[in-house]
Homo-oligomer: A and B are copies of this chain.
Amino acid sequence: MTEVFGHEQVVFCADRQSGLRAIIAIHNTALGPGLGGTRFYPYESEQAALADVLNLSRGMAYKNALAGLDLGGGKAVIIGDPATDKSEALLRAYGRFVESLNGRYFTACDVGTYSEDMDIVARESRFVTGRTIANGGAGDSSILTSFGVFQGMRASAQHIHGRSTLHGLRVGVEGVGKVGHRLVDLLIEDGASVVVCDVSERAVDQVRQRHPQVEVVASLAELVAEEIDVFAPCALGGSLDDTTVATLRARIVCGAANNQLAHPGVEKQLEERGILYAPDYVVNSGGVIQVADEIRGFNMERARAKAGQIYDTTLKIFAIAAEEGVPPAVAADRLAERRMSEVGRLKGIWLGH
C-alpha cells in the first residue's frame, strides 16, 4: 500500500446500489488538472486495479507534460466487467465522483469505455472529454495519434538521415488496426515502402485493398528480421524485448503502442545496438492532444497544430539524449520532469486567483 502516497491524490469511490467500485488517481497537478481515461476492466483484485491506475496515471503525467498540454497526470479504473456491470446508474455514480473533485481530474475513454459512456458520465460532471461528436467530442482520436507518430518518425529520420521525410525508406508496421492503418496511409503518401504484420487477416486485407504495394509478413519475428529502416510497433505493448532487440535490423524504432519496452534496460540495449528509439509516450500523444482539446471546445486545426509539435519535441529529446549521454527514453523523462518543475512553479507568482 505504500506506493499510494507517491501520488498526489488517490480517490477510492464506491456506490453500493449501482455496484460502482472505482479508483481515480492523480499523479500530480503541477501543470494543471490531471487528465486521463477511465479503464473499465474486470481486475482480479483491488490491488491489481490500484497498481494499474497508479502506473497509468504516472504515465499520463509524463505524456501530458511532453505533449505541451497544461494538464497533469490522471487516470481512473472501474472494477468490473463492462459487458455485464456497466449501467446508467453506475456510470452516473462514477460521474458524481469525477464531479466531486471539482475539476482536478478530467476523464476520457479508455479500455472498456466509449464516447457514449462519456456522454452518460457527463450528465453528472462537467469534467468529461472523449464525448460523442454530437456532444462536442473530438471524434476518433486515432487520427491525431497516427499523425503524431508520423511526426515522431519524421523527426527520427531527420536525426539519423538529415532529412525529415520517410521517402525512400522501408518501414515495418506491427499492427494495422485503428492507428496502424492510418499510419500506413501517411507513410505511403510520404513515399515510404511499407511492410506490415497483424494477427487479424481482415485488418491486413483492408490495408492491402487501399495500398496493394504494401508487403505482408506473417509475424513480428519475421517483421523485425526484415531489411527495414524503421520499426513501428502499433499493436500491444512489450514488443521490444531481448529477442526483438537482438534481431532488429531497423535503425529507428517509432510507433504508437504503449509501453513498448518490455522491461527496464531495453532502452540501453537499443542504444548499444545503435538503434534510435523515439519514446512511445512522446510520439503517441496525438490522441490525448486531440481529446484534451475538447476542454476548450474542440477545434481540429488547433489540435492538429499541437500534435505537429511532436516533431519538435522528439528532436529535442534526441538532442538532450546526445548532450547528456543518456538514452532518449531517459531524456524524455527528464524533459517531462523539467517542464513540470519549471512551469509548475510559476503558480508561485501570485495573480490573485
Residues of A whose CB lies within 8 Å of any CB of B are 1-2, 4-15, 21, 46-47, 50, 97, 100-102, 104
Contact = CB atoms under 8 A, between A and B. Distances in A.
Contacts of A14: 4-9
Nearest to A10: B12
Contacts of A8: 13-15
A47 to B, nearest CB: 6
B50 A1 contact: yes
| Across the A-B interface, the 9 shortest Cβ-Cβ residue pairs | A102-B102, A5-B14, A10-B12, A5-B21, A4-B12, A11-B11, A1-B46, A9-B13, A100-B104
Contacts of A10: 11-12
Copies of this chain: 2
Given A4-B14, A5-B46, 7 more contacts: A1-B1, A5-B21, A7-B14, A8-B14, A9-B12, A100-B101, A100-B104
| Most chain B Cβ neighbours within 10 Å, of A4, A6, A15, A100 | A100
Nearest to A45: B1
Nearest to A7: B14
Contacts of A104: 100
Nearest to A102: B102
30 contacts: A1-B1, A1-B47, A1-B50, A2-B46, A4-B12, A4-B14, A5-B12, A5-B14, A5-B21, A5-B46, A6-B14, A7-B12, A7-B14, A8-B13, A8-B14, A8-B15, A9-B11, A9-B12, A9-B14, A9-B97, A9-B100, A10-B12, A11-B12, A12-B12, A100-B101, A100-B102, A100-B104, A101-B101, A101-B102, A102-B102
Contacts of A9: 11-14, 97, 100
A5 B45 CA distance: 12
